[in-house]
Every structure is written in C-alpha cells, then in structure tokens.
Amino acid sequence: MHISEGVLSGPVLVSGMILAAAGTTVGLKRLDYDKVPRAGILSAAFFVASLIHVPVGPSSVHLILNGIVGLLLGWGAFPALLVALILQALFFQFGGLTTLGVNTVIMAAPAIICYSLFGRAVHGATRKAFAAAFACGFLAVFFSALLAALSLIGTEEKFFKVSVLLLTAHLPVMIIEGIVTAFCVAFLKKVQPGMFARPGMTDPVRGEKGGGK
C-alpha cells in the first residue's frame, strides 16, 4: 500500500517523517548488531513476498504481509519495512523519497500494533493461534488502509470519499491477508516455532534456537 508522490501536503509528509524516524530509532535500538543479517535477510524475504500476486476472481492482489512482519520482527519491523520501501522506490519507482516517511508509518505502525495485540496469542493452542493470526493479518491491512485514508483526509478534507473507497477496496485484501497469515503462522509454528518475536522480551529478533522460555 503506497501513497504516491505529489498527493500529500507538507504537514502530513513531515509528520509522517517524524513518526517514521522515531519508530525506526526505537527499532534500530532494539536490534543487536548480531541480528542485523537476520533482519536484513528477512526483510529481503518480505520484499520478495510482497511481489507475489494472489488471484482473486478475475483479478489479482499482491500481498502486503505487514502483520507477519510484526510477528516475526517486533519493533524491528520499522527499520525492516523502511528498507523494503526504499528498495521498492529504487527498483520500481513505487512510492518515493517524499512519501517514504508516511508510507513507512502506514506499513509499520499496524505491524507493531498487531504484534503487541497478537504476539502472545499466536503461541497459544492451535485453534486460538489460528484465529489470532487471521485477525493479525486482517487488522494489519485494515489499520494500514485506515492510516492511508487518514493521511489523505489530513491533506484535504475533500478526499473523504476517496478514502472511504480506499478502505472498502482493501476489504478483499484484508480477508486474503488474514487467511494467508493464519496458514503461514500455523506452518511456522510446526516448522520453526522459535522464529516469532515475543512481546516483553528485550530482543525481539531472535535466533533459531530461541524456542520456548
């Protein structure tokens, strides 16, 4: 989800940058130097995953996956998503330099929110974890669309109808993200449960061996 260049007003762009800088600073502080390769390679994986187009009826949508990013990286999601957005801007000219801050907040803030809401629940019993992961994927996209809509309205109140349209248009994406996140979390729980970040721990980006407490 991107807001392209030239749409938003100065105050919105600047507040996006300030929030993104704050989030990234926290994220970087919580990321050990030892864990940077891991965060980097995972962020490369998210970048590639976001290029996957999933069919929906006659059309297709591409995955956003900020919910899973939150679950796997915790606060590291901020710098990781910022990097992914920089690369998207460089490789495909999506987004851009001025909107980098706003777009980072749009993607990463929901990741952090979902991480703090569902970070514990995904470790629970299979069924509960599945529901929590679905909610995580669904809500992450919902919050992203909401933030995008808010930044449009903050630019110009007359964007209200566009914003409503933006939110409703993302409804199928939310459902698909929910389903994909739920299955992906179920898969990871079976294959490598130590991969998830855990709320309340100082080091959210954990090594492979960090399974149970």
User: Which parts of 177-196 interact with another protein (CB under 8 A)?
Assistant: 179-184, 187-188, 191-192, 195
Name the minimum Å distance from CB 130 to another protein: 11
Name the minimum Å distance from CB 189 to another protein: 9
- Binding residues for another protein restricted to 10-39, rule: CB under 8 A: 10, 13, 24, 28, 31, 33-34, 36-39
User: Is residue 168 at the binding interface for another protein, with CB under 8 A as the rule?
Assistant: no
Residue closer to another protein (CB basis): 58 or 200: 58
The answer to whether 185 and 122 are in contact (CB under 8 A) is yes
- Binding residues for another protein restricted to 49-88, rule: CB under 8 A: 49, 51-52, 54-57, 63, 65, 68, 72, 79-80, 82-84, 86-87
> According to the 3-state scheme, what is the secondary structure of the chain?
CCCCCCCCCHHHHHHHHHHHHHHHHHHHHCCCHHHHHHHHHHHHHHHHHCCCEEEECCEEEECCCHHHHHHHHHHHHHHHHHHHHHHHHHHHCCCCCCCHHHHHHHHHHHHHHHHHHHCCHHHCCHHHHHHHHHHHHHHHHHHHHHHHHHHHHHHCHHHHHHHHHHHHHCHHHHHHHHHHHHHHHHHHHHHCHHHCCCCCCCCCCCCCCCCCC
Name the minimum Å distance from CB 25 to another protein: 8
Residue closer to another protein (CB basis): 21 or 146: 21
Name the minimum Å distance from CB 155 to another protein: 10
Name the minimum Å distance from CB 109 to another protein: 18
Residue closer to another protein (CB basis): 6 or 200: 6
